[in-house]
Structure 1
Amino acid sequence: MKTITFDQIKTSSIALEFDELNTDNIYTWTEDDFAKYTVPVGNSRFPITDYFKITVEGEADSPNEVKMIMNGDMGRVKYIGFRMSGGEVIINGNADLHVGAEMSGGYVLVNGNAQAHAGREMSGGKLEIMGNTKEFTGASYIGEWRGVTGGEIIIHGDAGKQCGECLTGGSIHVLGNCDILAGIHMTKGTIEIDGNVNRWPGGQMKNGNIIIHGKLGRLLEGFVEQGIVTDPEISGKVYAGKYIQYSGDIALNGKGGLYIDAENNRDKLSAYSEGNDEYITLGDY
Protein backbone atom coordinates (compact mmCIF):
# COMPACT_ATOMS: atom_id res chain seq x y z
CA MET A 1 0.00 0.00 0.00
CA LYS A 2 1.28 3.45 -0.92
CA THR A 3 0.24 6.60 0.92
CA ILE A 4 0.74 9.96 -0.74
CA THR A 5 0.14 12.87 1.61
CA PHE A 6 -0.37 16.44 0.40
CA ASP A 7 0.10 18.95 3.24
CA GLN A 8 -0.97 22.37 2.08
CA ILE A 9 1.66 25.12 2.30
CA LYS A 10 -0.30 27.95 0.73
CA THR A 11 -3.52 28.53 -1.19
CA SER A 12 -4.08 30.15 -4.56
CA SER A 13 -6.67 32.73 -5.58
CA ILE A 14 -6.79 30.96 -8.96
CA ALA A 15 -7.81 27.32 -8.74
CA LEU A 16 -5.24 24.55 -9.12
CA GLU A 17 -6.31 21.76 -11.48
CA PHE A 18 -5.66 18.18 -10.34
CA ASP A 19 -7.08 16.33 -13.36
CA GLU A 20 -3.62 14.87 -14.13
CA LEU A 21 -3.01 13.79 -10.54
CA ASN A 22 -5.44 10.91 -10.14
CA THR A 23 -4.46 7.57 -8.63
CA ASP A 24 -4.21 5.95 -12.08
CA ASN A 25 -1.44 8.34 -13.11
CA ILE A 26 0.60 8.73 -9.93
CA TYR A 27 0.61 5.31 -8.28
CA THR A 28 4.24 4.79 -9.37
CA TRP A 29 5.43 8.31 -8.52
CA THR A 30 8.13 9.08 -5.98
CA GLU A 31 8.79 12.32 -4.10
CA ASP A 32 11.32 13.18 -6.82
CA ASP A 33 8.61 12.83 -9.48
CA PHE A 34 6.38 15.26 -7.61
CA ALA A 35 9.28 17.67 -7.20
CA LYS A 36 9.54 17.88 -11.01
CA TYR A 37 5.80 18.28 -11.60
CA THR A 38 4.13 21.60 -12.44
CA VAL A 39 0.42 21.94 -11.74
CA PRO A 40 -1.94 23.94 -14.02
CA VAL A 41 -3.03 27.22 -12.43
CA GLY A 42 -5.18 29.19 -14.85
CA ASN A 43 -3.21 29.61 -18.08
CA SER A 44 0.13 28.88 -16.43
CA ARG A 45 1.85 26.04 -14.58
CA PHE A 46 3.77 26.21 -11.31
CA PRO A 47 5.73 23.69 -9.22
CA ILE A 48 3.27 21.75 -7.10
CA THR A 49 5.77 21.93 -4.26
CA ASP A 50 5.02 25.66 -4.08
CA TYR A 51 1.61 24.70 -2.72
CA PHE A 52 2.09 21.33 -1.01
CA LYS A 53 4.63 19.39 0.97
CA ILE A 54 4.27 15.90 -0.52
CA THR A 55 5.27 12.77 1.36
CA VAL A 56 5.31 9.32 -0.29
CA GLU A 57 5.36 6.16 1.81
CA GLY A 58 5.19 2.54 0.64
CA GLU A 59 4.85 0.93 -2.78
CA ALA A 60 1.94 0.25 -5.14
CA ASP A 61 1.51 -2.06 -8.11
CA SER A 62 -1.81 -0.56 -9.19
CA PRO A 63 -4.11 2.41 -8.48
CA ASN A 64 -6.08 0.21 -6.07
CA GLU A 65 -3.08 0.23 -3.72
CA VAL A 66 -2.86 4.02 -3.41
CA LYS A 67 -4.30 6.33 -0.79
CA MET A 68 -4.07 10.09 -1.38
CA ILE A 69 -4.49 12.20 1.75
CA MET A 70 -5.01 15.93 1.22
CA ASN A 71 -4.70 18.09 4.32
CA GLY A 72 -5.87 21.69 4.15
CA ASP A 73 -8.58 23.74 2.51
CA MET A 74 -8.91 22.45 -1.06
CA GLY A 75 -11.61 25.00 -1.86
CA ARG A 76 -9.43 26.22 -4.74
CA VAL A 77 -8.34 22.81 -6.04
CA LYS A 78 -10.45 21.43 -8.90
CA TYR A 79 -10.79 17.93 -10.37
CA ILE A 80 -9.62 15.97 -7.32
CA GLY A 81 -10.22 12.27 -8.07
CA PHE A 82 -11.02 13.01 -11.70
CA ARG A 83 -11.34 9.82 -13.81
CA MET A 84 -9.82 7.63 -11.12
CA SER A 85 -10.49 3.90 -11.40
CA GLY A 86 -9.33 2.74 -7.98
CA GLY A 87 -7.70 3.60 -4.71
CA GLU A 88 -8.73 6.17 -2.11
CA VAL A 89 -8.67 9.95 -1.89
CA ILE A 90 -9.25 11.55 1.51
CA ILE A 91 -9.73 15.33 1.52
CA ASN A 92 -9.52 16.81 5.01
CA GLY A 93 -11.17 20.09 4.10
CA ASN A 94 -13.39 21.55 1.39
CA ALA A 95 -13.15 20.68 -2.32
CA ASP A 96 -13.60 22.83 -5.41
CA LEU A 97 -15.42 22.01 -8.65
CA HIS A 98 -15.63 18.52 -10.19
CA VAL A 99 -14.47 16.43 -7.23
CA GLY A 100 -14.87 12.77 -8.22
CA ALA A 101 -15.96 13.71 -11.74
CA GLU A 102 -16.00 10.81 -14.23
CA MET A 103 -14.57 8.39 -11.67
CA SER A 104 -15.12 4.73 -12.48
CA GLY A 105 -13.92 3.12 -9.25
CA GLY A 106 -12.35 3.72 -5.89
CA TYR A 107 -13.46 5.94 -3.02
CA VAL A 108 -13.34 9.71 -2.53
CA LEU A 109 -14.14 11.23 0.88
CA VAL A 110 -14.58 14.98 1.37
CA ASN A 111 -14.44 15.96 5.04
CA GLY A 112 -16.00 19.31 4.26
CA ASN A 113 -18.14 20.95 1.57
CA ALA A 114 -17.91 20.51 -2.19
CA GLN A 115 -18.57 22.96 -4.97
CA ALA A 116 -20.64 22.35 -8.12
CA HIS A 117 -20.47 19.27 -10.38
CA ALA A 118 -19.33 16.89 -7.62
CA GLY A 119 -19.43 13.34 -8.97
CA ARG A 120 -20.22 14.56 -12.47
CA GLU A 121 -20.78 11.68 -14.94
CA MET A 122 -19.49 9.00 -12.57
CA SER A 123 -19.67 5.40 -13.82
CA GLY A 124 -18.55 3.62 -10.65
CA GLY A 125 -16.92 3.98 -7.28
CA LYS A 126 -18.14 5.89 -4.24
CA LEU A 127 -18.08 9.61 -3.49
CA GLU A 128 -18.92 10.65 0.07
CA ILE A 129 -19.24 14.29 1.11
CA MET A 130 -19.57 15.04 4.80
CA GLY A 131 -20.78 18.61 4.28
CA ASN A 132 -22.92 20.35 1.66
CA THR A 133 -22.70 20.41 -2.12
CA LYS A 134 -23.57 23.10 -4.61
CA GLU A 135 -25.58 22.65 -7.82
CA PHE A 136 -25.35 19.78 -10.36
CA THR A 137 -24.12 17.07 -7.99
CA GLY A 138 -24.07 13.75 -9.85
CA ALA A 139 -25.24 15.48 -13.01
CA SER A 140 -24.20 15.70 -16.64
CA TYR A 141 -21.86 18.37 -17.87
CA ILE A 142 -23.42 21.42 -19.48
CA GLY A 143 -24.74 20.46 -22.92
CA GLU A 144 -24.56 16.71 -22.29
CA TRP A 145 -27.54 14.38 -21.77
CA ARG A 146 -25.99 11.61 -19.69
CA GLY A 147 -25.03 12.10 -16.07
CA VAL A 148 -24.08 9.45 -13.55
CA THR A 149 -24.31 5.93 -15.00
CA GLY A 150 -23.11 3.96 -11.97
CA GLY A 151 -21.54 4.19 -8.55
CA GLU A 152 -22.75 5.78 -5.33
CA ILE A 153 -22.85 9.36 -4.04
CA ILE A 154 -23.61 10.12 -0.39
CA ILE A 155 -24.08 13.71 0.79
CA HIS A 156 -24.35 14.13 4.55
CA GLY A 157 -25.41 17.76 4.31
CA ASP A 158 -27.60 19.65 1.82
CA ALA A 159 -27.51 19.49 -1.98
CA GLY A 160 -28.01 22.37 -4.39
CA LYS A 161 -30.26 22.58 -7.42
CA GLN A 162 -30.52 19.90 -10.11
CA CYS A 163 -28.92 17.15 -8.05
CA GLY A 164 -28.87 13.99 -10.16
CA GLU A 165 -29.70 15.76 -13.42
CA CYS A 166 -29.78 13.23 -16.29
CA LEU A 167 -29.14 10.35 -13.89
CA THR A 168 -28.93 7.12 -15.89
CA GLY A 169 -27.77 4.71 -13.20
CA GLY A 170 -26.25 4.41 -9.77
CA SER A 171 -27.58 6.04 -6.63
CA ILE A 172 -27.50 9.39 -4.83
CA HIS A 173 -28.38 9.72 -1.16
CA VAL A 174 -28.81 13.19 0.34
CA LEU A 175 -29.09 13.07 4.13
CA GLY A 176 -29.99 16.75 4.36
CA ASN A 177 -32.28 18.98 2.29
CA CYS A 178 -32.32 19.38 -1.48
CA ASP A 179 -32.99 22.38 -3.70
CA ILE A 180 -35.12 22.52 -6.85
CA LEU A 181 -35.31 20.03 -9.73
CA ALA A 182 -33.65 17.01 -8.16
CA GLY A 183 -33.58 14.22 -10.75
CA ILE A 184 -34.55 16.39 -13.70
CA HIS A 185 -34.25 14.42 -16.97
CA MET A 186 -33.34 11.20 -15.11
CA THR A 187 -33.88 7.91 -16.95
CA LYS A 188 -32.65 5.35 -14.43
CA GLY A 189 -31.13 5.03 -10.96
CA THR A 190 -32.26 6.10 -7.50
CA ILE A 191 -32.23 9.39 -5.60
CA GLU A 192 -33.04 9.27 -1.88
CA ILE A 193 -33.48 12.49 0.10
CA ASP A 194 -33.83 12.34 3.89
CA GLY A 195 -34.68 16.02 4.37
CA ASN A 196 -37.00 18.49 2.70
CA VAL A 197 -37.14 19.27 -1.01
CA ASN A 198 -37.80 22.77 -2.25
CA ARG A 199 -39.72 22.24 -5.51
CA TRP A 200 -40.21 20.18 -8.65
CA PRO A 201 -38.32 16.90 -8.20
CA GLY A 202 -38.26 14.58 -11.21
CA GLY A 203 -39.06 17.14 -13.87
CA GLN A 204 -39.13 15.44 -17.30
CA MET A 205 -37.94 12.15 -15.81
CA LYS A 206 -38.57 9.05 -17.93
CA ASN A 207 -37.68 6.33 -15.45
CA GLY A 208 -35.87 5.68 -12.19
CA ASN A 209 -37.04 6.42 -8.65
CA ILE A 210 -36.94 9.35 -6.25
CA ILE A 211 -37.71 8.81 -2.56
CA ILE A 212 -38.32 11.83 -0.30
CA HIS A 213 -38.55 11.32 3.46
CA GLY A 214 -39.03 14.98 4.36
CA LYS A 215 -41.56 17.54 3.19
CA LEU A 216 -41.97 18.43 -0.47
CA GLY A 217 -42.66 22.07 -1.18
CA ARG A 218 -44.25 21.78 -4.62
CA LEU A 219 -44.93 18.94 -7.04
CA LEU A 220 -44.97 19.29 -10.82
CA GLU A 221 -48.26 18.81 -12.64
CA GLY A 222 -46.81 15.95 -14.69
CA PHE A 223 -47.05 13.45 -11.82
CA VAL A 224 -50.08 11.22 -11.31
CA GLU A 225 -50.99 10.00 -7.84
CA GLN A 226 -51.04 6.21 -7.67
CA GLY A 227 -52.05 5.77 -4.05
CA ILE A 228 -50.35 5.03 -0.75
CA VAL A 229 -47.86 2.18 -0.45
CA THR A 230 -46.47 0.65 2.72
CA ASP A 231 -42.82 -0.42 3.03
CA PRO A 232 -42.16 -0.21 -0.72
CA GLU A 233 -39.26 -2.22 -2.11
CA ILE A 234 -37.40 -0.12 -4.66
CA SER A 235 -34.33 -1.39 -6.49
CA GLY A 236 -33.87 -4.13 -3.91
CA LYS A 237 -34.14 -1.86 -0.84
CA VAL A 238 -37.16 -1.70 1.48
CA TYR A 239 -38.17 1.78 2.65
CA ALA A 240 -40.08 1.46 5.92
CA GLY A 241 -43.25 3.50 6.34
CA LYS A 242 -46.10 4.79 4.22
CA TYR A 243 -45.45 6.77 1.06
CA ILE A 244 -47.59 8.58 -1.46
CA GLN A 245 -46.62 7.10 -4.81
CA TYR A 246 -46.67 9.07 -8.06
CA SER A 247 -45.68 8.19 -11.60
CA GLY A 248 -44.37 10.58 -14.23
CA ASP A 249 -43.36 12.76 -15.77
CA ILE A 250 -46.39 12.20 -18.04
CA ALA A 251 -45.37 15.22 -20.12
CA LEU A 252 -42.72 12.88 -21.60
CA ASN A 253 -44.72 9.66 -21.18
CA GLY A 254 -42.43 8.97 -18.26
CA LYS A 255 -42.77 5.90 -16.07
CA GLY A 256 -40.60 7.09 -13.20
CA GLY A 257 -41.52 6.58 -9.58
CA LEU A 258 -41.75 9.39 -7.03
CA TYR A 259 -42.35 8.39 -3.41
CA ILE A 260 -42.91 10.98 -0.69
CA ASP A 261 -43.42 10.30 3.01
CA ALA A 262 -47.17 10.32 3.65
CA GLU A 263 -46.97 11.59 7.23
CA ASN A 264 -44.84 14.59 6.31
CA ASN A 265 -46.91 15.41 3.21
CA ARG A 266 -50.54 15.02 4.25
CA ASP A 267 -51.36 18.20 2.35
CA LYS A 268 -50.50 16.39 -0.90
CA LEU A 269 -53.14 13.69 -0.43
CA SER A 270 -56.23 13.90 -2.61
CA ALA A 271 -58.27 12.93 0.45
CA TYR A 272 -57.36 13.01 4.14
CA SER A 273 -59.24 12.70 7.42
CA GLU A 274 -57.61 14.10 10.57
CA GLY A 275 -59.43 11.43 12.58
CA ASN A 276 -58.03 8.51 10.62
CA ASP A 277 -54.27 8.04 10.89
CA GLU A 278 -54.35 4.34 10.06
CA TYR A 279 -54.45 4.90 6.32
CA ILE A 280 -53.12 2.27 3.95
CA THR A 281 -54.55 3.19 0.57
CA LEU A 282 -56.58 6.09 -0.71
CA GLY A 283 -59.65 3.90 -0.54
CA ASP A 284 -59.44 3.83 3.27
CA TYR A 285 -60.40 7.47 3.59
Structure 2
Amino acid sequence: MKTITFDVKKRNQIALEMDEIIPDTIYTWEEADFDKYAVPVGNSRFPLTDFFDITVEGTADSPAEVKMIFNGDCGRVKYIGTKMSAGEIIVNGDVDLHVGAEMSGGSITVKGNTEAHAGREMSGGKLEIYGNTKEFTGASYIGEWRGMSGGQIIVHGNAGKQCGECLVGGHIHVLGDCDILAGIHMRKGLIEIDGNVNRWPGGQMKNGNIVIHGKLGRLLEGFVEEEIVTDPDVNIS
Protein backbone atom coordinates (compact mmCIF):
# COMPACT_ATOMS: atom_id res chain seq x y z
CA MET A 1 0.00 0.00 0.00
CA LYS A 2 1.28 3.46 -0.91
CA THR A 3 0.10 6.68 0.73
CA ILE A 4 0.86 9.97 -1.01
CA THR A 5 0.12 13.07 1.06
CA PHE A 6 -0.26 16.54 -0.44
CA ASP A 7 -0.12 19.30 2.19
CA VAL A 8 -1.23 22.65 0.75
CA LYS A 9 1.47 25.32 0.97
CA LYS A 10 -0.43 28.15 -0.70
CA ARG A 11 -3.70 28.85 -2.49
CA ASN A 12 -3.20 30.08 -6.04
CA GLN A 13 -5.49 32.67 -7.64
CA ILE A 14 -5.65 30.65 -10.89
CA ALA A 15 -6.80 27.05 -10.43
CA LEU A 16 -4.34 24.16 -10.62
CA GLU A 17 -5.41 21.37 -13.03
CA MET A 18 -4.74 18.01 -11.36
CA ASP A 19 -6.21 15.59 -13.92
CA GLU A 20 -2.75 14.11 -14.62
CA ILE A 21 -2.19 13.27 -10.95
CA ILE A 22 -4.38 10.22 -10.28
CA PRO A 23 -3.55 6.74 -8.91
CA ASP A 24 -3.57 5.33 -12.47
CA THR A 25 -0.62 7.50 -13.51
CA ILE A 26 1.44 7.98 -10.32
CA TYR A 27 1.30 4.63 -8.54
CA THR A 28 5.03 4.09 -9.26
CA TRP A 29 6.12 7.65 -8.45
CA GLU A 30 8.46 8.55 -5.63
CA GLU A 31 9.09 11.99 -4.13
CA ALA A 32 11.77 12.72 -6.76
CA ASP A 33 9.17 12.27 -9.51
CA PHE A 34 6.89 14.85 -7.94
CA ASP A 35 9.84 17.22 -7.58
CA LYS A 36 10.22 17.14 -11.38
CA TYR A 37 6.53 17.49 -12.24
CA ALA A 38 5.06 20.81 -13.43
CA VAL A 39 1.29 21.23 -12.98
CA PRO A 40 -0.87 23.09 -15.54
CA VAL A 41 -2.01 26.50 -14.27
CA GLY A 42 -3.91 28.48 -16.90
CA ASN A 43 -1.76 28.43 -20.07
CA SER A 44 1.48 27.74 -18.18
CA ARG A 45 3.02 25.09 -15.95
CA PHE A 46 4.66 25.49 -12.56
CA PRO A 47 6.41 23.07 -10.18
CA LEU A 48 3.83 21.13 -8.19
CA THR A 49 6.05 21.52 -5.14
CA ASP A 50 5.44 25.30 -5.28
CA PHE A 51 1.92 24.53 -4.06
CA PHE A 52 2.23 21.30 -2.02
CA ASP A 53 4.57 19.59 0.37
CA ILE A 54 4.46 15.97 -0.86
CA THR A 55 5.25 12.86 1.18
CA VAL A 56 5.34 9.31 -0.23
CA GLU A 57 5.11 6.31 2.08
CA GLY A 58 5.08 2.63 1.08
CA THR A 59 4.98 0.96 -2.32
CA ALA A 60 2.29 -0.05 -4.81
CA ASP A 61 2.13 -2.60 -7.60
CA SER A 62 -1.09 -1.19 -9.03
CA PRO A 63 -3.27 1.94 -8.85
CA ALA A 64 -5.67 0.10 -6.53
CA GLU A 65 -2.96 0.14 -3.84
CA VAL A 66 -2.65 3.94 -3.81
CA LYS A 67 -4.21 6.35 -1.33
CA MET A 68 -3.87 10.06 -2.09
CA ILE A 69 -4.56 12.51 0.75
CA PHE A 70 -4.95 16.26 0.25
CA ASN A 71 -4.73 18.34 3.43
CA GLY A 72 -5.84 21.97 3.35
CA ASP A 73 -7.90 24.27 1.19
CA CYS A 74 -8.07 22.89 -2.36
CA GLY A 75 -10.70 25.40 -3.42
CA ARG A 76 -8.47 26.39 -6.35
CA VAL A 77 -7.56 22.83 -7.40
CA LYS A 78 -9.60 21.45 -10.33
CA TYR A 79 -10.06 17.95 -11.76
CA ILE A 80 -9.08 16.00 -8.64
CA GLY A 81 -9.67 12.31 -9.43
CA THR A 82 -10.72 12.95 -13.03
CA LYS A 83 -10.72 9.70 -15.07
CA MET A 84 -9.38 7.61 -12.19
CA SER A 85 -10.22 3.90 -12.35
CA ALA A 86 -8.89 2.62 -9.02
CA GLY A 87 -7.39 3.68 -5.72
CA GLU A 88 -8.57 6.14 -3.10
CA ILE A 89 -8.48 9.93 -2.81
CA ILE A 90 -9.31 11.83 0.38
CA VAL A 91 -9.57 15.62 0.43
CA ASN A 92 -9.61 17.23 3.88
CA GLY A 93 -11.05 20.52 2.70
CA ASP A 94 -12.92 22.17 -0.17
CA VAL A 95 -12.29 21.41 -3.86
CA ASP A 96 -12.80 23.23 -7.14
CA LEU A 97 -14.57 22.14 -10.34
CA HIS A 98 -14.86 18.62 -11.81
CA VAL A 99 -13.88 16.47 -8.83
CA GLY A 100 -14.40 12.83 -9.84
CA ALA A 101 -15.34 13.73 -13.41
CA GLU A 102 -15.38 10.68 -15.72
CA MET A 103 -14.13 8.38 -12.97
CA SER A 104 -14.76 4.68 -13.57
CA GLY A 105 -13.63 3.13 -10.29
CA GLY A 106 -12.07 3.70 -6.91
CA SER A 107 -13.33 6.16 -4.31
CA ILE A 108 -13.11 9.88 -3.60
CA THR A 109 -14.05 11.43 -0.27
CA VAL A 110 -14.32 15.22 0.06
CA LYS A 111 -14.59 16.45 3.64
CA GLY A 112 -15.72 19.89 2.54
CA ASN A 113 -17.64 21.63 -0.25
CA THR A 114 -17.24 21.21 -4.01
CA GLU A 115 -17.78 23.51 -6.94
CA ALA A 116 -19.83 22.58 -10.02
CA HIS A 117 -19.70 19.40 -12.13
CA ALA A 118 -18.77 17.03 -9.30
CA GLY A 119 -18.86 13.47 -10.64
CA ARG A 120 -19.88 14.57 -14.12
CA GLU A 121 -20.13 11.69 -16.60
CA MET A 122 -18.75 9.19 -14.09
CA SER A 123 -19.30 5.53 -14.96
CA GLY A 124 -18.25 3.78 -11.74
CA GLY A 125 -16.71 4.17 -8.33
CA LYS A 126 -17.91 6.20 -5.37
CA LEU A 127 -17.80 9.96 -4.76
CA GLU A 128 -18.78 11.09 -1.26
CA ILE A 129 -19.07 14.81 -0.42
CA TYR A 130 -19.54 15.76 3.22
CA GLY A 131 -20.35 19.40 2.50
CA ASN A 132 -22.44 21.10 -0.18
CA THR A 133 -22.00 20.81 -3.93
CA LYS A 134 -22.96 23.29 -6.59
CA GLU A 135 -24.76 22.79 -9.91
CA PHE A 136 -24.56 19.88 -12.37
CA THR A 137 -23.60 17.11 -9.94
CA GLY A 138 -23.38 13.83 -11.88
CA ALA A 139 -24.48 15.65 -15.00
CA SER A 140 -23.31 15.83 -18.59
CA TYR A 141 -20.84 18.46 -19.73
CA ILE A 142 -21.42 21.16 -22.34
CA GLY A 143 -22.28 19.57 -25.70
CA GLU A 144 -22.86 16.10 -24.25
CA TRP A 145 -26.24 14.40 -23.78
CA ARG A 146 -25.09 11.61 -21.41
CA GLY A 147 -24.33 12.33 -17.80
CA MET A 148 -23.42 9.90 -15.06
CA SER A 149 -23.89 6.28 -16.19
CA GLY A 150 -22.80 4.26 -13.15
CA GLY A 151 -21.35 4.38 -9.68
CA GLN A 152 -22.56 6.29 -6.64
CA ILE A 153 -22.52 9.92 -5.52
CA ILE A 154 -23.43 10.76 -1.93
CA VAL A 155 -23.86 14.42 -0.90
CA HIS A 156 -24.25 14.93 2.83
CA GLY A 157 -25.13 18.61 2.40
CA ASN A 158 -27.16 20.39 -0.27
CA ALA A 159 -26.92 20.11 -4.07
CA GLY A 160 -27.29 22.91 -6.60
CA LYS A 161 -29.45 23.13 -9.70
CA GLN A 162 -29.75 20.41 -12.34
CA CYS A 163 -28.36 17.64 -10.18
CA GLY A 164 -28.25 14.48 -12.29
CA GLU A 165 -28.90 16.25 -15.58
CA CYS A 166 -28.95 13.70 -18.45
CA LEU A 167 -28.46 10.85 -15.97
CA VAL A 168 -28.26 7.48 -17.73
CA GLY A 169 -27.37 5.28 -14.76
CA GLY A 170 -25.98 5.13 -11.26
CA HIS A 171 -27.29 6.44 -7.96
CA ILE A 172 -27.16 10.00 -6.63
CA HIS A 173 -28.16 10.41 -2.98
CA VAL A 174 -28.50 13.94 -1.59
CA LEU A 175 -29.03 13.95 2.16
CA GLY A 176 -29.84 17.67 2.24
CA ASP A 177 -31.90 19.89 -0.05
CA CYS A 178 -31.74 20.16 -3.84
CA ASP A 179 -32.23 23.17 -6.10
CA ILE A 180 -34.33 23.35 -9.28
CA LEU A 181 -34.54 20.83 -12.12
CA ALA A 182 -33.05 17.77 -10.45
CA GLY A 183 -32.99 14.93 -13.00
CA ILE A 184 -33.73 17.09 -16.03
CA HIS A 185 -33.36 15.03 -19.25
CA MET A 186 -32.58 11.86 -17.23
CA ARG A 187 -33.07 8.52 -18.99
CA LYS A 188 -32.14 5.97 -16.34
CA GLY A 189 -30.78 5.66 -12.82
CA LEU A 190 -31.89 6.86 -9.40
CA ILE A 191 -31.83 10.24 -7.69
CA GLU A 192 -32.76 10.15 -4.02
CA ILE A 193 -33.22 13.39 -2.07
CA ASP A 194 -33.75 13.27 1.68
CA GLY A 195 -34.45 16.99 2.05
CA ASN A 196 -36.59 19.47 0.15
CA VAL A 197 -36.59 20.22 -3.57
CA ASN A 198 -37.10 23.74 -4.80
CA ARG A 199 -39.00 23.28 -8.10
CA TRP A 200 -39.49 21.20 -11.21
CA PRO A 201 -37.69 17.89 -10.66
CA GLY A 202 -37.68 15.53 -13.65
CA GLY A 203 -38.10 18.09 -16.40
CA GLN A 204 -38.13 16.31 -19.79
CA MET A 205 -37.05 13.03 -18.17
CA LYS A 206 -37.58 9.86 -20.21
CA ASN A 207 -37.09 7.18 -17.57
CA GLY A 208 -35.46 6.47 -14.24
CA ASN A 209 -36.58 7.32 -10.72
CA ILE A 210 -36.52 10.40 -8.51
CA VAL A 211 -37.42 9.83 -4.85
CA ILE A 212 -38.01 12.90 -2.66
CA HIS A 213 -38.36 12.34 1.07
CA GLY A 214 -38.82 16.02 1.95
CA LYS A 215 -41.12 18.72 0.62
CA LEU A 216 -41.52 19.66 -3.03
CA GLY A 217 -41.91 23.30 -4.00
CA ARG A 218 -43.60 22.85 -7.37
CA LEU A 219 -44.33 19.83 -9.58
CA LEU A 220 -44.22 19.99 -13.36
CA GLU A 221 -47.29 19.38 -15.51
CA GLY A 222 -47.83 15.70 -16.25
CA PHE A 223 -46.45 14.41 -12.95
CA VAL A 224 -48.54 13.05 -10.11
CA GLU A 225 -47.31 13.25 -6.53
CA GLU A 226 -47.71 9.97 -4.65
CA GLU A 227 -46.96 8.94 -1.10
CA ILE A 228 -44.10 6.45 -0.70
CA VAL A 229 -45.38 3.33 1.04
CA THR A 230 -42.73 0.95 2.39
CA ASP A 231 -43.41 -2.63 3.34
CA PRO A 232 -41.77 -3.11 6.77
CA ASP A 233 -40.87 -6.67 5.78
CA VAL A 234 -38.89 -5.55 2.71
CA ASN A 235 -35.35 -4.26 3.01
CA ILE A 236 -34.74 -1.64 0.27
CA SER A 237 -31.34 -0.42 1.47
Check whether the contact 1:151–1:170 (CA below 8 A) recurs between aligned residues.
Answer: yes
Q: Following superposition of structure 1 onto structure 2, how do residues 1-285 of structure 1 map, counting pairs within 5 Å?
A: 1-224=1-224, 228=227, 230-231=229-230, 238=236
Give % identity: 76
Deviations for 1:61-93, whole angstroms, at most 9, x for unmatched residues? Answer: 111000000001000000000000010000000
- TM-score, normalization by structure 1: 0.81
Q: Specify which structure has the bigger relative contact order, considering alpha-carbon pairs within 8 angstroms and separated by 6 or more residues.
A: 2
- Tell me how far 1:238 sits from its aligned partner: 2.9
Measure the CA separation in 1 of the matches of 2:228 and 2:92: 41
Check whether the contact 1:232–1:238 (CA below 8 A) recurs between aligned residues.
Answer: no
**SS at 1:190 equivalent:** strand
Deviations for 1:77-124, whole angstroms, at most 9, x for unmatched residues? Answer: 000000000100000000000000000000000000000000000000
Measure the CA separation in 2 of the matches of 1:178 and 1:185: 16
- Deviating 4+ runs (over 4 angstroms): none
Gap regions ≥5 residues in structure 2:
none
- TM-score, normalization by structure 2: 0.97
Measure the CA separation in 1 of the matches of 2:154 and 2:169: 15
Give the total of aligned pairs: 236
Measure the CA separation in 1 of the matches of 2:64 and 2:227: 45
Check whether the contact 1:102–1:123 (CA below 8 A) recurs between aligned residues.
Answer: yes
**SS at 1:238 equivalent:** coil
Computed over aligned residues only, the root mean square deviation of the Cα atoms, in angstroms, reads 1.5
Deviations for 1:244-279, whole angstroms, at most 9, x for unmatched residues? Answer: xxxxxxxxxxxxxxxxxxxxxxxxxxxxxxxxxxxx
**SS at 2:170 equivalent:** strand
Over 3 Å counting, the alpha-carbon distance change for 1:228 and 1:175 in structure 2 is closer
Measure the CA separation in 1 of the matches of 2:140 and 2:185: 10
Deviations for 1:207-245, whole angstroms, at most 9, x for unmatched residues? Answer: 1000000000000002145x5452179xx9638xxxxxx
